[in-house]
Structure 1
Amino acid sequence: MPSTPTSLIGRSLVEGAAQGPLLFADVGLSFWGGVDPFSGEVIDRHHPLSGEHLAGRVLALPSGRGSCTGSSVMMELISNGHAPAALVLAEPDEILTLGVLVAQTLFERSLPVLCIGREAFAALRGKVFARVEGAGVTLFEQVPETAGQTLDKALPSEKTDDSIQLNEYDVALLDGQYGKAAQVAMRIVLRMAQLQGASSLVDVTQAHIDGCIYTGPASLRFAEQWVQWGAKVRVPTTLNSISVDQRRWRELGIDPALGVPASALGDAYMAMGAQLSFTCAPYLLDSAPKVGEQIVWAESNAVVYANSVLGARTLKYPDYLDICIALTGRAPLIGCHLETQRKARLKIELPALGELDDAFYPLLGYHIGTLAGSRIPLVLGLEQRQPSLDDLKAFGAAFATTSAAPLFHIAGVTPEALDPAQVLEPDVAIPVEKIRLQDLLLSWRELNSARDRRVDVVSLGNPHFSLGEFAHLARLCRGRHKHPEVVLAITCGRAVLEQARAAGHVAVIEAFGATLVTDTCWCMLGEPVIPLAAKTLMTNSGKYAHYAPGLVGRKVHFASLAECVDAACTATASGRLPAWLAPAVPLENLAHA
């Protein structure tokens, strides 16, 4: 006898009706780097849904995580027919929801998005089939007889919310007085402001656009539509890494099927008035924001760095909302734009640590990101360590890979936590996580997915290399030469490359045998920069060590910059644990004795 279906009520983020087999996971998923935008396959090889296909299924996730480009991937999937039938979330996710809203606005295609809360979300585990209708979801333990029914999938109408306070400029934008592009952009900004619960908007002083990454034909159609509407940015705007080295993609052997549209996408954003920056590390530019500055930045590592290290104010803006805000100069006054929303919601206590190398900070960021989820952490135990800006850059990029939070605090280090009491709510108890060395060892092994000690490619510069990293690498490379069968490639921004060249670092690194690539980043690089025959990569980036197995289908060795250079010379990974992590092995053995 069939069991009675279970019905749950939540909050509809995007209205609609759909049904299908339920695909459930209790771990957040970054659509960028985690889902193939052309097939809908989950390619995050660390995720429990790895290998599953999303098309036609009701996808249930606690939230998204990781890259801001997830909205672009979602839009691409909706455009090409490989999107899930519906999305059911435990917590609201702005990145995935925005991708649906943009597809709805520009391409008249959509899917329902429903948020039901964490307690109700647990009831989805083990269910086989789901039907989403408006604010409700019905769960089945077996496929119902009505599974073949066609549900009403009419596009929802745009809602207006008079509770959002608009000034005269906002009203003029909505009325079309500044042109169609600004009008449509303002509509999208207000849709997101409504979903976020904002009561007003705030002026921003600058923008960093992540939507210039080519995820497929829809991403180019999106940008070219804005250009046709006469779009022009209203605040100084920089561009993230694009998907190719715009000056050298032909020389590097990139297929024109990618090179032509990816380069055209960068041109489209520059036609809107954005600067030719093409870097995923805009905080390395002279235009980096100051403490307290209200900005709109996308690119997850840049958002985290801006909030945490620079003390600027931004959300983890989804791709496409970034350009909409740049076109209007107005952002929802919500989240980390508000002082009250920048407080810590989790304390992290570190174990006793020995002498550290530069592999420590990306590993720690990666591990803390998994613990934090969407909570802003306060890290205790590094007060005397004085991590460099490059250490914090590596920490933040890895943290942003596994966390949905836009901000971290490190006691005694980051500007708002020099006095950690300033980032804690008075008289409010928050959870405490105590990290053990054995815990870090588990994350080390997760990032080190390669079993073959052979190294074919050493990938550096994710995020883009800084001048300090070029100096460090030059010291390690001086008087040496890489193995002839190893590719060592570094991605960086054009501005930093010229600084490194002027300082003499580039000559040393090129004499070592390295390849320098600008404009793009390892999250977009594949063959032939990575040779077809290459099986194993090595990197010092926690972010790339996580994404590479899914993005390029290769296993990875993760280690310090010095170990990467040694491996480039010998074509072999040493397999050594860093000295600060080695004590975890006897502790682990003792625990299993």
Structure 2
Amino acid sequence: MSGISSLEGRSLVDGCASAPLLYAEVGLSFWGGVDPFSGEVIDRHHPLSGECLAGRVLAIPSGRGSCTGSSVLMELISNGHAPAALVLAEADEILTLGVLVAQTLFQRSLPVLCIGKEAFGQLRGKAFARVDGTGLSLYDSTPDDTPAPRNDRPTEDAHSSIELTAHDRALLDGSQGKAAQVAMQIVLRMAHIQGAKYLVDITQAHIDGCIYTGPASLRFAQQLVAWGAKVRVPTTLNSISVDQRRWRELGIDPALGVPASALGDAYMAMGAQLSFTCAPYLLDSAPKAGEQIVWAESNAVVYANSVLGARTLKYPDYLDICIALTGRAPLIGCHLEDQRKARLHIEVPPLSNLDDSFYPLLGYHIGALAGSRIPLISGLQQQHPILDDLKAFGAAFATTSAAALFHIAGVTPEALDPTRVIDGPLPVLKLSLEELRLSWQELNSARDARVDVVSLGNPHFSLSEFARLASLCQGRHRHPDVVLAITCGRTVLEQARAAGHIAVIEAFGAVIISDTCWCMLGEPVIPPAARNLMTNSGKYAHYAPGLVGRKVHFASLAECVDAACSATASGRLPQWLQAAASLENAPHV
């Protein structure tokens, strides 16, 4: 009989499962990190890369990255390729919500257990695990049999601990329609798991669930429409999975194009606006400081909280639309002033000669250091980062961090006076150039200088980015063997066209794609023979090797344009990083 140890935790979703244990010490983004059709871990930077989650007890500290992780997990549950159970060090709303929606709509589920950070390390080296409600049994080897599930687990009332208004109760009793009733049930289940005592009115929503992850994502939206779903607040839509107007022209397989376009239509049938952008902060409808909103899409959430000073959580896909249908959100986390304080102080060393590759690299590196903690970053005030810099920083930060907010001393609105975001002593981390150089190497996965595709617009391009790109492209032309494509929202596209930027960029030989984003694009926009991509996006440099199976060169926008003309990456380190390389190559005495 193999050795057995037992732990107790908090059941986020009840259930029982026994299976081989798959353990990692690093959080995992299911979107971009797990294939929704097979359950393979495709995040090539993750220690579980290449492993299959299907039928195993997956133990990770938490999720991270994209809000679409809930949709991927729901898809896996629906198609039979999900883990047997999830064991987490800390509660994760994105993954838990995916299970709750699958349970509500498809009557399929899996247990989710949170055991705390201290106990989590005891799973290392174990071969087999059994989850039964709040209990976790660990085995050194696969047992011959496991005990029958307990039948005495208490059931919890998701409503009893939350103060409801008369409006909330009307939604809950079905008098406002079936869609609103189901949405309110899901909102309250999540509020209970999150420990909320109250709900808050929200003024607007941004929906990330319009990304097509497979048949289950479309079934969910169409079921809401069939139940008469209508949003109760102004609602924008994230990028969908295709350029809705041009997907046939771009050669997209109808097996993706038809359902992905239909998914966008389903959300518009609920009353959402035709926006199709992952950068809703570029729209005139962007929220003001202090506004209570529900935004999903990880980069948008981080930007709204950090740069605009609005109030939102990193809402999972499907919880976003449920809140839009009810107008009510759990009053927790970044919705509360005292939950927006910094939990970590990161000092950036003095730097000079910065280019635009600095901010996505820094965001990527700091996100990994911060984990789920909100960081206060000092040392950048004299650099005067512009909004495009903060957009690039936030997107990369959201890729590697579970936090929904960052503060930059003297730059972001709540940290203009850094003492406002500090509540007691903070642990301090001092970054070195050498650490940043190692992250640069991690994002630069390509091993030869060839460049086949230049990918720009993750997140979607802003008007000022189009202006800068046009100035870099003026009087030049891309190499005939290189594809240069930019993704953007329709609103910004028309602004750039009116300003004359698009004519210059198209004369250069670039392709402009609206409605969708690089996280959803693949072949044939990326030619089948293409081997290496180049991008100035820290987010896409991380996700591309897993999403499209290509290696990546990461560099500044100017370097990307040069590479588009030469079909070759220079491989040069930016000036601000060369000091670290010089130190490494210096003779040792």
Q: Distance in 2 between matches of 1:19 and 1:152?
A: 13
Q: Distance in 1 between matches of 2:476 and 2:152?
A: 64
Tell me if 1:504 matches 2:500.
yes
Q: Distance in 2 between matches of 1:35 and 1:499?
A: 36
Q: Structure 1: which 5+ runs fail to align?
A: none
Q: Which residue number corresponds to residue 422 of structure 2?
A: 424
Paired AA for residue 561 in structure 2: V
Q: Distance in 2 between matches of 1:50 and 1:233?
A: 39
SS in 2 for 1:99: helix
Post-superposition CA distance 1:342-369 (Å, at most 9, x none): 0000000011211100000000000000
The 5 A counterparts of 1:279-290 are 279-290=277-288
- Post-superposition shift, 1:592? 7.5
Alignment equivalent of 1:375, drawn from 373, 376, 386? 373
Q: Distance in 1 between matches of 2:309 and 2:433?
A: 30
Alignment equivalent of 1:523, drawn from 515, 519, 525? 519
Q: Which residue number corresponds to residue 479 of structure 1?
A: 475
Q: Which residue number corresponds to residue 567 of structure 1?
A: 563
Query: Could you tell me whether the CA contact under 8 Å between 2:97 and 2:316 is conserved in 1?
Result: yes
- Post-superposition shift, 1:472? 0.3
Q: Which residue number corresponds to residue 577 of structure 2?
A: 581
Query: Could you tell me whether the CA contact under 8 Å between 1:474 and 1:508 is conserved in 2?
Result: yes
Q: Distance in 2 between matches of 1:422 and 1:429?
A: 13
Q: Which residue number corresponds to residue 102 of structure 2?
A: 103
Q: Which residue number corresponds to residue 551 of structure 2?
A: 555
Query: Could you tell me whether the CA contact under 8 Å between 1:16 and 1:156 is conserved in 2?
Result: no
Paired AA for residue 572 in structure 1: T
The 5 A counterparts of 1:362-441 are 362-425=360-423, 428-441=424-437
Q: Which residue number corresponds to residue 26 of structure 1?
A: 25
Q: Which residue number corresponds to residue 443 of structure 2?
A: 447
Q: Distance in 2 between matches of 1:250 and 1:152?
A: 53
Paired AA for residue 424 in structure 1: I
Paired AA for residue 338 in structure 1: L
- Post-superposition shift, 1:152? 7.8
Q: Distance in 2 between matches of 1:77 and 1:209?
A: 21
Q: Distance in 2 between matches of 1:575 and 1:318?
A: 38
Residue 41 to residue 192, structure 1, CA distance change in 2 (3 Å): same
Q: Which residue number corresponds to residue 12 of structure 1?
A: 11
Residue 162 to residue 258, structure 1, CA distance change in 2 (3 Å): same
The 5 A counterparts of 1:173-212 are 173-212=171-210
Query: Could you tell me whether the CA contact under 8 Å between 2:132 and 2:150 is conserved in 1?
Result: no
Residue 504 to residue 490, structure 1, CA distance change in 2 (3 Å): same
- Post-superposition shift, 1:589? 3.9
Q: Which residue number corresponds to residue 262 of structure 2?
A: 264
Residue 464 to residue 85, structure 1, CA distance change in 2 (3 Å): same
- Post-superposition shift, 1:452? 1.2
SS in 1 for 2:99: helix
Tell me if 1:57 matches 2:47.
no
| Bigger mean CA offset, 159-168 vs 414-423 | 159-168
Post-superposition CA distance 1:474-503 (Å, at most 9, x none): 000000000001000000000000000000
SS in 2 for 1:170: helix
Q: Distance in 2 between matches of 1:155 and 1:98?
A: 21
Post-superposition CA distance 1:448-480 (Å, at most 9, x none): 000110000000000000000000000000000
Residue 543 to residue 81, structure 1, CA distance change in 2 (3 Å): same
Q: Distance in 1 between matches of 2:205 and 2:232?
A: 9
Q: Which residue number corresponds to residue 135 of structure 2?
A: 136
- Post-superposition shift, 1:5? 0.4
Residue 325 to residue 479, structure 1, CA distance change in 2 (3 Å): same
Q: Which residue number corresponds to residue 87 of structure 2?
A: 88
The 5 A counterparts of 1:217-366 are 217-366=215-364
Q: Distance in 1 between matches of 2:303 and 2:540?
A: 17
Query: Could you tell me whether the CA contact under 8 Å between 2:133 and 2:153 is conserved in 1?
Result: no
Query: Could you tell me whether the CA contact under 8 Å between 1:110 and 1:155 is conserved in 2?
Result: no
Paired AA for residue 473 in structure 2: C
SS in 2 for 1:163: coil
Q: Distance in 2 between matches of 1:478 and 1:392?
A: 26
TM-score normalised to the size of structure 1? 0.98
Query: Could you tell me whether the CA contact under 8 Å between 2:241 and 2:521 is conserved in 1?
Result: yes
Q: Distance in 1 between matches of 2:92 and 2:588?
A: 39
Q: Distance in 1 between matches of 2:323 and 2:236?
A: 13
- Post-superposition shift, 1:177? 1.2
Q: Distance in 2 between matches of 1:347 and 1:27?
A: 21
SS in 2 for 1:384: helix
- Post-superposition shift, 1:140? 0.3
Alignment equivalent of 1:534, drawn from 530, 533, 543? 530
SS in 1 for 2:257: helix
Paired AA for residue 430 in structure 1: L
SS in 2 for 1:580: helix
Q: Structure 1 vs Structure 2: percent identity of aligned residues?
A: 81
How many residues get paired? 589
Post-superposition CA distance 1:89-147 (Å, at most 9, x none): 00000000000000000000000000000010000000000000000100000100116
Q: Distance in 2 between matches of 1:79 and 1:106?
A: 10
SS in 2 for 1:581: helix
- Post-superposition shift, 1:158? 6.9
SS in 2 for 1:130: strand
Residue 158 to residue 251, structure 1, CA distance change in 2 (3 Å): farther
Paired AA for residue 265 in structure 1: L
Q: Which residue number corresponds to residue 36 of structure 1?
A: 35
Query: Could you tell me whether the CA contact under 8 Å between 1:213 and 1:241 is conserved in 2?
Result: yes
- Post-superposition shift, 1:159? 2.9
Query: Could you tell me whether the CA contact under 8 Å between 1:491 and 1:517 is conserved in 2?
Result: yes
What CA RMSD, in Å, does the superposition of the two structures yield over aligned residues? 1.4
Q: Distance in 2 between matches of 1:28 and 1:456?
A: 31
- Post-superposition shift, 1:583? 0.3
Paired AA for residue 288 in structure 2: K
SS in 2 for 1:398: helix
- Post-superposition shift, 1:52? 0.2
Q: Distance in 2 between matches of 1:95 and 1:252?
A: 32
Q: Which residue number corresponds to residue 490 of structure 2?
A: 494
- Post-superposition shift, 1:588? 2.8
Paired AA for residue 90 in structure 2: E
Residue 104 to residue 369, structure 1, CA distance change in 2 (3 Å): same
Q: Distance in 1 between matches of 2:87 and 2:505?
A: 49
SS in 1 for 2:58: strand
